[in-house]
Amino acid sequence: MAGIIERYAKHLPVTEKTPRLTLHEGNTPLIFAPKLSEELDLEVYFKYEGLNPTGSFKDRGMVMAVAKAVEEGSHTIMCASTGNTSAAAAAYAARANLRCIVLIPNNNIALGKLAQAMIYGAEIIAIEGNFDQALKIVRDICEKHPITLVNSVNPYRLEGQKTAAFEICDTLGKAPDVLAIPVGNAGNISAYWKGFKEYYEAGVVDSKPRMFGFEAEGAAALVKGEPIEQPETLATAIRIGNPASWDLALTARDESNGHIDYVTDEEIVEAYRKLASMEGIFAEPASAASLAGLMKMRKLGRIPAGQQVVCVLTGNGLKDPNIALKSVGVDPVVVESTEEAVLGIITQGAGV
Amino acid sequence: MAGIIERYAKHLPVTEKTPRLTLHEGNTPLIFAPKLSEELDLEVYFKYEGLNPTGSFKDRGMVMAVAKAVEEGSHTIMCASTGNTSAAAAAYAARANLRCIVLIPNNNIALGKLAQAMIYGAEIIAIEGNFDQALKIVRDICEKHPITLVNSVNPYRLEGQKTAAFEICDTLGKAPDVLAIPVGNAGNISAYWKGFKEYYEAGVVDSKPRMFGFEAEGAAALVKGEPIEQPETLATAIRIGNPASWDLALTARDESNGHIDYVTDEEIVEAYRKLASMEGIFAEPASAASLAGLMKMRKLGRIPAGQQVVCVLTGNGLKDPNIALKSVGVDPVVVESTEEAVLGIITQGAGV
């Protein structure tokens, strides 16, 4: 299967000169969830974006941003990021022979999260400041020098990301009734809405879904109506206090007759575990905000029974396995090396 | 895209009663490698199995093994594993509502590697013994009790794994000239060969590839012609001293006019870094044995220029990010939080 630029060229800002750059992003599975469907009295699917090349939905937007950078003659891309964005930027830069510079704050660097960007060959610079300062420096440098900014203010990012909405419609043969999605920087909910609207306007589908976005309680800027100075949540990928696509997200909500709400960290962890242990899907903690939100909406009666719902899972669980370990929270039972000892544990049903 | 059982039903031991179990395994990308193709004077593709649902090729065999377990009325599956097999077993057991028991040796448990199996809900039992003892206990218990063994001696595992060969042929419209693949337990090279032969015999393709398998030097039982008591390599997924599919692997080699060789850990790490920094693909260290071996074969003149080669990448790099960090081996440059300081580093080209 070709990548998104080739498959969706006529719906994207690509020209004959746009390189058909790809790591075979997109074409991610839409996984039906039989048990959660029954439990919630809905028809539930998961759009599992963790199976993109670098493990998150960011690849869709980044392949567009990097391809356009190449088309425009750029030789260097730059972003401020400590997570999924830097991995995607570094991978596509490697593929396209561009230099990739990643700015990170020096406080609390989790090197594990940067392993991907580093192995893809990005140059990492840590500043003695916070994330906002890193982003400001990146923006200032990219304004004055021939370096392409690939943070989410780059408009090609949302263009690429909207292709996930196309894929959902292509797979189902129609738009779902409801799209449930985690909200951090609010770019993804905006991109999906753009994609659904464009497919509707092009006559590919004859309806649009209601958009339900879910922030983490400790980073619920949209729900609370004001930026959060010190956002806090274990779902690091949506730990954002001042979403860049604030207005677009509210537009998606209002135009679609949808809703934006928050979920607690406890609800996120519960959904995260259910997803893995009931349906066999291991996603990033932040991804589980979509399922956590859906469960909350059903309890509150905001989504009627019988509806077809697609929950977006934005990233692969392997990005952050420590949360899995902490959430399970027990060490394995240790027994002597005999058949009898092992059978004893199995019969008690007392394994971990 | 449907999973492998549905897509390849007529080539698999499935009946009407076999459940169409799936997490949308398979359908993994075949990624062309422009830069390595030029460097090696070959046409090089990577079959990137890291984009399977649990991050490795094991999902193909496990979906078959678990579906057949369900068909046969089993309620519990069991395996000895500290890595990819346990993750795959646990995920499909969760999906199929089976109990999953994983036996591990208690020495040197890397809990990170078990995070996946645990979050999917497997019951982990550690024994005070080594891996061979764990496997023996599992085999003994499964012989005497209604528990399905899903280690690689389960014949359905290879049946499922052979579908990767089908996909390569389906994508290329033909069989490649050469298939390069890491060899640990030797099941995968045997499965691919089975798949290529079956497609050839069914008339789907009119040729078969030469099979080139690569062991790690410290675990090169097939190359040395005898089991290795204490196998050692940083490529943990192929750290196996006594391959279960020993004879099948030699048959694949001989029938295909192929070759089995070893690569050093240094060669594996070099290939692992090239793969990420040149082509933008992050695979498990063990996966890079296929590229490392291909580079060695070209140096030795054992594969002629111009050939079409598919290298199998068995697992996702996110399974073992610590090797990436160690292999890059440097901390980021830290500078003060000003545009000038950052520009100074960029201009020197002295970022990490």
Interface contact B53-A29, CB threshold 8 A: yes
- What residue in B sits closest to A326 (Cα-Cα)? B115
Contact across the interface for B116 and A339, Cβ inside 8 Å: no
Q: Would the annotation count A91 as a binding residue? A: no
| B19 inside domain | yes
- 3-class SS shares of chain A: helix, strand, coil, % to 5: 50, 15, 35
B337, amino acid identity: S
d(CA A66, CA B351): 20
Residue A118: its chain B contacts at CB < 8 A? 324-325, 328, 352
| A142 and A162 together in one domain | no
If asked whether residues B301 and B243 sit together in one domain, one would say yes
Q: Is residue B291 part of a domain?
A: yes
* Inter-chain touch B339–A53, beta carbons under 8 Å: no
Summarised one tens digit per residue, pLDDT across range A132-155 is 899 999 999 999 999 999 999 999
Are residues A317 and B31, on separate chains, in Cβ contact within 8 Å? no
- Residue A344 domain flag: no
Q: Which of A300, A200, A215 is closest to A263 using CA atoms?
A: A215
Compute the nearest-CA separation of B101 from chain A (Å): 8
Q: Would residue A333 count as lying in a domain? A: no
How many Cβ atoms from other residues are within 10 Å of residue B255's Cβ? 12
- Distance between A50 CA and the closest CA of chain B, angstroms: 9
Tell me, what DSSP letter sits at residue A104?
E
The model's pLDDT over A203-261, given as tens digits with 9 standing for 90+, comes to: 999 999 999 999 999 999 999 999 999 999 999 999 999 999 999 999 999 999 999 99
Q: Does B24 sit within 8 Å of A48, measured CB to CB?
A: yes
Dig out the tokens for A53 from the structure: 């090349």
Q: Are residues B122 and B168 in the same domain?
A: no
Tell me, yes or no, whether A265 and A201 share the same domain: yes
The pLDDT value given to residue B204? 98
Sequence letter at residue A299: K
User: Does residue B196 belong to any structural domain of this protein?
Assistant: yes
Same domain, A174 and A190: yes
> Which of B98, B119, B149 is where one domain is finished?
B149
Express as a percent the part of chain B with pLDDT over 90.
88
Cα nearest neighbour of A333 on chain B: B125
| Contact between chains at B321 and A112 (C-beta distance less than 8 A) | yes
Distance CA A11, CA A198 (A): 8
User: Cα dihedral sign for B337, B339, B344, B345?
Assistant: positive
DSSP SS3 for A100:
strand
Looking only at the bridges linking them, the beta strands covering A43-48 and A308-313 are parallel
Same domain, A177 and A264: yes
Q: Is A171 annotated as a binding residue?
A: no
SS3 assignment for B92-146: HHHHHCCEEEEEEECCCCCHHHHHHHHHCCCEEEEEECCHHHHHHHHHHHHHHCC
Torsion, CA A143, CA A145, CA A151, CA A156, rounded to 10: 80
With CB atoms and an 8 Å threshold, state whether B282 touches A335. Answer: no
pLDDT in tens, B234-263: 999 999 999 999 999 999 999 999 999 999
The residue ranking higher by pLDDT, B267 or A321, is: B267
Contact present, B233 and B280 (Cβ < 8 Å): no
Q: Is A186 annotated as a binding residue?
A: yes
Give the mean model confidence (pLDDT) for residues B61-84: 96
Q: What is the mean predicted confidence (pLDDT) over B300-306?
A: 97
Alpha helices, H only, A2-154: 4-7, 34-40, 58-71, 84-96, 111-119, 131-144
- In percent, how much of chain B has pLDDT > 70? 97
Q: One-letter amino acid identity for A148? A: T
Among A111, A319, A334, beta carbon nearest to B126? A334
Q: Tokens 């290298």, residue? A: B311
The answer to whether position A78 is within a domain reads yes
- Consecutive 10-residue averages of pLDDT for chain A (352 residues): 95 97 98 98 98 98 98 97 93 98 82 85 92 92 97 96 98 98 97 98 98 98 96 93 95 98 98 97 97 98 98 95 82 91 85 40
User: What pLDDT shows up at residue A350?
Assistant: 45
Residue A32: closest CA among chain B residues belongs to which residue? B23
Give the distance from residue A257's alpha carbon to the nearest chain B alpha carbon, in angstroms: 31
- The CA distance from A129 to the nearest CA of chain B, in Å, is 6
Q: For residue A162, which of A60, A259, A62 has the smallest C-alpha distance?
A: A60
Instruction: Name every chain A residue with its beta carbon within 8 A of the beta carbon of B281.
Output: 23, 53, 91
The domain of A116 spans 57-149
Contact in structure between A185 and A243 (CB atoms under 8 Å): yes
Known binding residue A84? Answer is yes
Structural domain total, chain B: 2
For residue A80, which of A49, A58, A102 has the smallest C-alpha distance? A102
Does residue B352 surpass a pLDDT of 50?
no
pLDDT at A203: 98
**A313 and A190 share a domain?**
yes
Q: Which residue has the tokens 């704050």?
A: A105
Task: Indicate whether B162 and B35 sit together in one domain.
Answer: yes
Q: Is A349 within a domain? A: no
pLDDT at A352: 37
Q: Which residue of B has its CA nearest to A129?
A: B337
pLDDT band at residue B113 using 50, 70 and 90 as cut-offs: confident
The closest CB to that of A339, out of B120, B137, B346, belongs to: B137
**Domain limit, last residue, from A149, A170, A192:** A149
* pLDDT reported for residue B108: 62
3-class secondary structure, A46: strand
Same structural domain for residues B196 and B270?
yes
Contact A29 B322 (CB under 8 A): no
Contact A276 B121 (CB under 8 A): yes
Region B134-140: mean pLDDT is 95
For the segment B124-128, the average pLDDT, to the nearest whole number, is 93
Q: Which two tokens stand for residue B202?
A: 């069914």
The answer for residues whose C-beta is within 8 angstroms of residue B89's C-beta and 6 or more apart is B62, B66, B77, B79, B81, B100, B102, B117, B122, B150
Does position B168 have pLDDT exceeding 70, yes or no? yes
- Are residues B285 and B187 located together in one domain of the fold? yes
The CA–CA distances, whole Å, from B171 to A28, B20, B140 equal 17, 23, 42
Q: Which residue has the higher pLDDT, A108 or B144?
A: B144
Report the pLDDT value the prediction gives residue B351, as an integer from 0 to 100: 43
State whether B165 and B238 are in the same domain. Answer: yes
| Nearest residue of chain A to residue B103 (CA atoms) | A342
Query: Do A276 and A213 have their domain in common?
Result: yes
A314 is in an annotated binding site: yes
> Measured between beta carbons, which residues in chain A are less than 8 angstroms from residue B93?
280
Output the pLDDT for position A212.
98
Is B187 labelled a binding residue? Answer: yes
In a domain, B293, yes or no: yes
Comparing alpha-carbon positions, the chain B residue that sits nearest to A349 is B123
Nearest to B109 by CA among B138, B82, B132: B82
pLDDT at B170: 98
Per the annotation, does B288 bind a ligand? no
Strands in chain B per DSSP E: 30-32, 43-48, 76-80, 99-105, 123-128, 148-149, 178-182, 210-216, 259-263, 308-313, 333-336
Q: Are the C-beta atoms of B215 and B250 separated by less than 8 Å? A: no
Residue B97 sits in a domain whose CATH number is 3.40.50.1100
Asked if this assembly's ipTM is beyond 0.90, the reply is yes
Picking from A102, A137, A284 by the largest number of B CB atoms within 10 A of its own CB, the best residue to mutate is: A137
Q: Do B126 and A279 touch (CB under 8 A)?
A: no
